A = this chain, B = another copy of it.
C-alpha cells in the first residue's frame, strides 16, 4: 500500500507540522499520534548506557493501560542535556496533555537529531498547540505525522495490516518509523510507533512488542552505531475488540518487519539491500551474533558495494564474532551461488556472480554452520563513498 494511503485504526488521529526546529518550513519537525480513549501502551528502548531525556521520560510511562498520545520532534535528540533537557521533555508532554485534557503520564515522547544541543523550546512551545489543532483521522494526517519524524530519510515509512477480531469484525495495525540514515550534524535514530484498535492488555502488549522488535528492528544495522534514542512504541486502544493472539502477533511482526526493512532500503548512501540468513548454530542468539558481525564488517559491506564475490571476507567476519564453530562445516551461498562448502572453496564463475551482485539491488548471503537449530535473518546495506560523504562533509 502506498505510504500516502495507509489508514489509521479506529479511534486514532495524527498530525505533523513544522514549528521551526528545522529551518525549512516545508519540512515537518513535530509529529503527534493520539488515541481518543485510554489505550494500552508498551515500549522498547535503546540499550545504550547514554540515553536522552525523551527515553527517560517515556520509560517511566510504559507499560500502561491509560496512554493517550505519542509526541515526537525531529532535528534535535535532546540527549546529553542534563536536568534542563529532562524539564524540556516533560514540558512537551505536559503541553500535549493540556491540549488533550489528559494526565501528563498518558503522553510519551521521542526526539531525534543532533546530540548535545538543547531543544529550541522557543519554536516548540508555540508549535505544540498548533500540532494538536492539526490532528485528523485521514491517511494524509498519518502521512504528515510520519513526515514529522523524518531526519534524513528520503521517504516516509508506513505499514499496515488487518486481521479478524474474535467477534468477526476487523482490527487494524498501522505503523510509522524513521530510519537510521546518518548525516552530520544529526545522530539519526530509529523511531517507530504502531497503533492498533485491537484490544491488548499491557502485559501482552509488552511481551508481543518485544518479540516483534527482536526479529525486526533488532535485526537491522546500517553501521553498527547504536543510537541513544531508539524507541518503538505500541498503542492499542481496543476500539475493534480482542483478536486471536497468534494472528495479532503475526500482524504485528509483519508491520515491524515492513518498517525495519524500509529503514535498510532507505539507508544513507546504500546501493544494496542485503539479507543475511544464518542457520545451523546451537542457538538463535549465536546465529544473530554472527549475522550482526558479518553485517557490520566494512570489508563485507564494501565487497558487496563493489560486486566482489570475495567470500573470505564473509567467512573471516563470522570467525571473529565470538561464537565458536567448526570451520570445516561452513557453507556459504551468495545470491544462490555456492561459493564455499565444508569450509573449502567451490569452483564458480566469478564474473557471473559479480554481474549478479552488480545488477540486483537485493543481495542474499546464506551462511550455514552445521545441524544446530539456531537461525537468524538479518538485514543490512552496503558501505559506499556516498555514506562517507554524507557523514563527513559537514563543516561546523
Interface residues of A (CB under 8 A from B): 47-51, 77, 79-82, 114-117, 182, 184-185, 187, 223-228, 296-299, 302-303, 305-313, 315-321, 323-325, 327-328, 330, 339-340, 343-345, 350-351, 353-354, 382-385, 387-389, 391-396
Contacts and interface: CB of A to CB of B under 8 A. Distances in A.
Contacts of A396: 307-310, 350-351, 353-354
Count of this chain's copies in the oligomeric assembly: 2
A159 B49 CA distance: 40
A323 B47 CA distance: 11
A contact face: mostly helix, strand, loop, or mixed: loop
B224 A392 contact: no
A323 B388 CA distance: 28
Nearest to A117: B345
A80 B315 contact: yes
A394 B308 contact: yes
Nearest first, the 5 A-B pairs at minimum CB distance are A115-B312, A306-B392, A50-B319, A385-B385, A226-B320
Contact of A320 (B48, B324, B328, B345): B48
Contacts of A382: 392
B343 A306 contact: no
A253 to B, nearest CB: 25
Nearest to A185: B310
A343 B115 contact: no
A114 to B, nearest CB: 7
A302 B391 CA distance: 6
A297 B388 CA distance: 12
Contact of A50 (B79, B315, B345): B315
Given A226-B320, A319-B49, A389 B395 contact: no
Contacts of A320: 47-49, 225-226
Given A184-B306, A298-B298, A308-B395, 16 more contacts: A49-B318, A50-B315, A50-B316, A51-B319, A115-B315, A116-B315, A184-B303, A185-B308, A225-B316, A225-B320, A298-B383, A305-B392, A306-B392, A354-B396, A385-B389, A388-B388
A97 B98 CA distance: 85
Contact of A395 (B307, B316, B330): B307
Given A187-B312, A313-B187, A324-B49, A306 B80 contact: no
A348 to B, nearest CB: 10
Contact of A310 (B184, B310, B312, B345): B184
A298 B395 contact: no
Given A185-B308, A226-B320, A392 B49 contact: no
A316 B226 CA distance: 7
Contact of A302 (B77, B307, B388): B388
Given A50-B327, A184-B306, A79 B312 contact: yes
A226 B319 contact: yes
Contacts of A306: 184, 391-395
A188 to B, nearest CB: 9
Nearest to A342: B82
A120 B396 CA distance: 52
11 contacts: A49-B318, A49-B324, A79-B312, A80-B343, A117-B345, A225-B298, A228-B316, A306-B394, A310-B396, A350-B396, A351-B396
